[in-house]
A and B are shown apart, each in its own frame.
Chain A
Amino acid sequence: MKEEILYEIKGLYRDDFRVKGYRFGGGENSVCIMGSMRGNEFQQIYVCSQLIQKLKQLEEKGKIVDGEGILVIPCGNPYSVNVKKRFWTIDNTDINRMYPGYSLGETTQRIAAGIFEQIKDYRYGIQFASFYMPGNFVPQVRVMKTGMENIELAKQFGLPYVVLHHPRPFDTTTLNYNWQIWETDAFSIYTTSTSAVDKESAKQAVDAVLNFLSKQGIIQHRGYEGFISRVVESHDFVNVRTAFAGFFEKIAEAGERVDKGQILAKIVDPYTGDVRQEIVSPIEGIIAFAHNESMAYQNTAVYKLIAEENEA
């Protein structure tokens, strides 16, 4: 393993801003794995750290195939992580809305450009991503439909779901989208959590990446085979929304199979404790996403379901 500084900005009153990478093997730019780019993505850093542990062991045993190079970047934004702020410290911009970046532009454009310059020529790109809404996911691989997506490859992670996402205008500046435009096969992996470390889900993500690398002939590894992934379009998710705001009392969790008419959660009046709404499943299916905060706003999609009848 070789530790390397991939990008650096000199700080004024803070330590220098550094993006570090960990390289394994050598030769081809085979796969790049990107962790956190936002300050609240602790799980994404943790998954990378556990992956680095595994890759170190594999390298020591000579199990990284000759000529295959792996780069892991646990964190593209240590400044924000260290002050517990989701976006960039001074101007609140999002590095993952700056790709492919601009080396002569503003700070986060430069950071994105500096990172992208190092990682744009990889055959495969894997990002541990987070959702903008607070909640827990059933583990999944997300692929943006740019016309260059490779669904069969996405299945090789062995995660329960491969979700195809139609990019919206603001998605065109994400890492995943730009990787694909630069002809990297790009995948975003969503584990269960974001700001809280979930070890079980992290282990599943590490196993999924190792499974994928093994199937691509990048490492020699026999382990987790995983699931036969089911492919779902993101617009086929059934959103279950709150009609009222209040305390969110969750009953059903992400990953659970639920029946039509089953009560998933309750919205409770914060002052009186009266139940304002029983949130009921409109279909029989799997909970792909569940809100995880104590309060919920009106019209919030607190659950996203995958319909049972679409099961392959």
Chain B
Amino acid sequence: MDSQVMTIAQVQLPVDEVLKIQKHRLMPSGVSVDELEKSGKRISVVTGIHGDELEGQYVCYELSRRIGEHPEALCGIVDIYPAMNPFGIDNITRGIPAFDLDMNRIFPGNHHGDMNEHIAAEIIKDMEGTNLCLDIHASNIFLTEVPQIRINELHKDILVPIAMKSNVDLIWVHGASTVLESTFAYSLNNRGIHTLVVEMGVGMRITEDYGNQLVDGIFALMADMGIWKGDVPKVRMPVVSNDETGNDVYYLNAPFSGIFFKERSHGSMVQAGERIGCVVNPLTGELLSEITAPGDGWLFTIREYPVVEEGSLMGRILKKSALEGMGH
């Protein structure tokens, strides 16, 4: 097996530093890249576009480690990109710190644009030839999510059947939005490079169980693509929400600014009227609001960060009707 760390984009910084975007390429020896790409055997695992989302770090390491245990089983290219936004990771910052810019709003980039647009364009260029890409996110620092794949309705016919094999708990098909056209995943899917957006866990933390679950799914996808001929764990059947109209999910937004105490974990089944948590005012000792489920369903998102302002998202519940439609 060949294993190589490669720099896919770099720019000089003002004071004695070069910003590099790197990937780790694993592939069988003695076979050409062209040949493997043409036979559909290149997968790219990307993370760190948001610098404070670290769940993908475990996935990158574990994927590489497991392949290293059985290099003879590798039949295709695995490209691992652990840090698309190295500044953000170093600064515990979602965006690109010096620019206060969300990197996931500048794709497909521009080779003639500024530093960040240039890097984005180089990243997209490096993705050419990829047959499947996973873009791993960790929600944000505020919310914990069950492992899920989010798919733009424009790409659902192609992506849902692929996502079904990825061992996640939920596939959430959402409506199209013009703003999302600047994302990494949209830019790749628009170019015919199938890309799945994974959301799982919470920002600034690593949930090892979720990492292992997704790595199992990546091996299942690799086996399906002919990239892996080793053992593959059995994958679970996800819930699929075709939520293009936005009617499948209850959103729990804070009615008051305060401190949120969560009382139910994400992944719980909840019933209408059941208490999910509460918002309190520690200054006055008041209970400002009890947060209850507006209907029966599956609590797949819960707020992790206690401080809320009026409107802050505290949870999402997939309606029971949507679950029943899937036979769950």
Contacts and interface: CB of A to CB of B under 8 A. Distances in A.
B105 A9 contact: no
Contact of A298 (B11, B142, B251, B281): B11
Contacts of A10: 256-257, 310
Contact of A173 (B14, B179, B313): B179
A295 B179 CA distance: 31
Nearest to B141: A91
B257 A11 contact: yes
A114 to B, nearest CB: 10
Interface in B1-28: 11-16
A275 interface: no
A94 to B, nearest CB: 9
A301 interface: yes
Contact of B179 (A109, A169, A246): A169
B309 A107 contact: yes
Given A91-B142, A107-B311, A299-B114, A270 B15 contact: yes
Nearest to B95: A92
Contact of B14 (A86, A169, A247): A247
B21 to A, nearest CB: 14
Given A12-B259, A12-B281, A90-B307, A104 B114 contact: no
Contacts of A168: 182
Given A86-B100, A246-B14, A299-B114, A13 B283 contact: yes
B283 to A, nearest CB: 7
B113 interface: yes
Given A9-B309, A169-B179, A245 B12 contact: yes
A288 interface: no
Contacts, number: 95
Given A10-B256, A105-B253, A133-B114, A170 B105 contact: yes
A206 to B, nearest CB: 29
Contacts of A132: 99-101
A296 B259 contact: no
A299 B115 contact: yes
B94 A297 contact: no
Nearest to A169: B181
A168 B109 CA distance: 12
A170 B179 contact: yes
A110 interface: yes
A234 interface: no
Query: For this complex, into which size category does the number of interface residues on chain A fall?
Result: 35 or more
> Which range contains the number of B residues in contact with the other chain?
35 or more
B57 interface: no
A245 B14 contact: yes
Interface string A59-92: 0000000000000000000000000001100111
Nearest to B280: A12
B189 interface: no
A51 B322 CA distance: 54
A104 B253 contact: yes
Nearest to A87: B100
B312 A107 contact: yes
B163 to A, nearest CB: 24
A299 B14 contact: no
Given A12-B281, A297-B11, A110 B311 contact: yes
A300 B179 contact: no
A172 interface: yes
Contacts of A11: 257
A166 B247 CA distance: 33
Contacts of A90: 307, 309, 312
B283 A299 contact: no
Contacts of B259: 12
A298 B309 contact: no
A12 B312 CA distance: 13
B179 A172 contact: yes
A295 B115 CA distance: 14
Contact of B115 (A239, A246, A247, A297): A297
A137 B151 CA distance: 40
Given A104-B251, A106-B253, A110-B311, A12 B258 contact: yes
Given A13-B283, A298-B12, 18 more contacts: A10-B256, A12-B257, A12-B309, A86-B100, A91-B140, A97-B179, A106-B253, A107-B310, A132-B100, A172-B179, A173-B179, A245-B14, A270-B16, A271-B16, A297-B13, A297-B14, A297-B115, A299-B114
29 contacts: A9-B257, A10-B257, A12-B281, A12-B283, A12-B309, A87-B100, A90-B312, A91-B142, A92-B95, A92-B100, A105-B253, A106-B312, A106-B313, A107-B311, A110-B311, A132-B101, A169-B178, A241-B114, A245-B11, A245-B13, A247-B14, A295-B15, A297-B115, A298-B12, A298-B115, A299-B11, A299-B114, A300-B114, A301-B114
Closest 7 CB pairs of A and B: A107-B311, A169-B181, A245-B14, A12-B257, A110-B311, A295-B14, A172-B178
